[in-house]
Amino acid sequence: MLREVIREAETIEEAKSQAAAALGLPAEELQFEILQVPQKKTLGLFGGSLAQVRAFYEVTPAHSAAEYLKEVLGKMGVAAPEISIREENDGCVLKLEGEDLGFIIGRRGETLDALQYRAGLVANRVDNTYYRVTLDIGNYREKREQSLNGLARKIAGQAVRTGRKIYLEPMNPYERRIIHTAVQEIKGATSWSVGSDPNRHVIIGPSDDNTAGRPGRRNKSSKKAAQNSERPERPERPERPERPERTIREFVPRSNPLPTADGSTPPSKTLSEKEASSTLYGRIDL
Provide the CATH number for the domain around residue 200. Answer: 3.30.1370.50
Question: What letter represents residue 49's amino acid?
Answer: S
Residue 200 domain flag = yes
| Residue 70 sits in the same domain as residue 127 | yes
Position 45 scores a pLDDT of 63
pLDDT-derived band at 192, boundaries 50, 70, 90: very high
Are 154 and 91 found together in one domain?
no
d(CA 23, CA 66): 12
d(CA 141, CA 36): 47
User: Which of 180, 206, 232 is at the close of a domain?
Assistant: 206
- pLDDT, residue 251, reads 57
When pLDDT is averaged across residues 249-266 and rounded to a whole number, the result is 57
**Rounded distance, CA 57 to CA 69, Å?**
18
Look at residue 64 in the predicted model and tell me its pLDDT: 87
Residue of 207, 208, 192, 193 lying closest to 157 (CA atoms): 207
Residue 179, in any domain of the structure: yes
Domain boundary among 58, 79, 105: 58
For residues 33 and 99, state if they share a domain.
Answer: no
Percent of the chain scored above 70 by pLDDT?
A: 74
- For range 75-99, the mean pLDDT: 84
Which of 12, 40, 58 lies at the terminal end of a domain, its last residue? 58
Q: Is the pLDDT of residue 59 over 50?
A: yes
Lowest mean pLDDT among 2-16, 29-43, 93-107, 255-269: 255-269
Rounded to 5 degrees, φ, ψ at 38 are -65, 145
Give the Cα separation of 29 and 66 in Å (integer). Answer: 13
Chain-wide mean pLDDT for the chain? 79
Nearest to 134 by CA among 146, 148, 149, 144: 144
Q: Are 110 and 117 in contact (CB under 8 A)?
A: no
Choice between 94 and 1, residue whose per-residue pLDDT is larger: 94
**Lowest mean pLDDT, pick from 46-50, 204-208, 214-218:** 214-218
88 and 121, same domain (yes or no): yes
Q: Compare 221 and 107 and report the one with higher pLDDT.
A: 107
Predicted pLDDT at 264: 58
Whether 279 shows a pLDDT value over 70: the answer reads no
Mean pLDDT throughout 86-100?
Answer: 85
Q: How much is the average pLDDT of 178-207?
A: 91
Angle, in degrees to the nearest 10, between helices 140-162 and 173-183: 50
In a domain, 272, yes or no: no
Q: What is the domain count for the chain?
A: 3
Terminal CA-CA length for the chain: 132
* 54 lies in some domain: yes
Q: What confidence score (pLDDT) does residue 218 get?
A: 46
Q: What domain range includes position 194? A: 142-206
In what helix (H) or strand (E) does residue 148 lie, and over which residues does it extend? helix 140-162
**Are 165 and 127 in the same domain?**
no
CA distance 238 to 251: 38
Look at residue 8 and tell me if it is in a domain.
yes
Highest mean pLDDT among 197-206, 257-266, 274-283: 197-206
Q: Is residue 238 included in any domain, yes or no?
A: no
Q: Are residues 104 and 156 in the same domain?
A: no
Is 198:170 a contact under the CB 8 Å cutoff? yes
pLDDT confidence of residue 277:
55
Identify whether residues 40 and 69 lie together within a single domain: no
> Average pLDDT of 161-168?
91
Residue that wins the pLDDT comparison between 45 and 122: 122
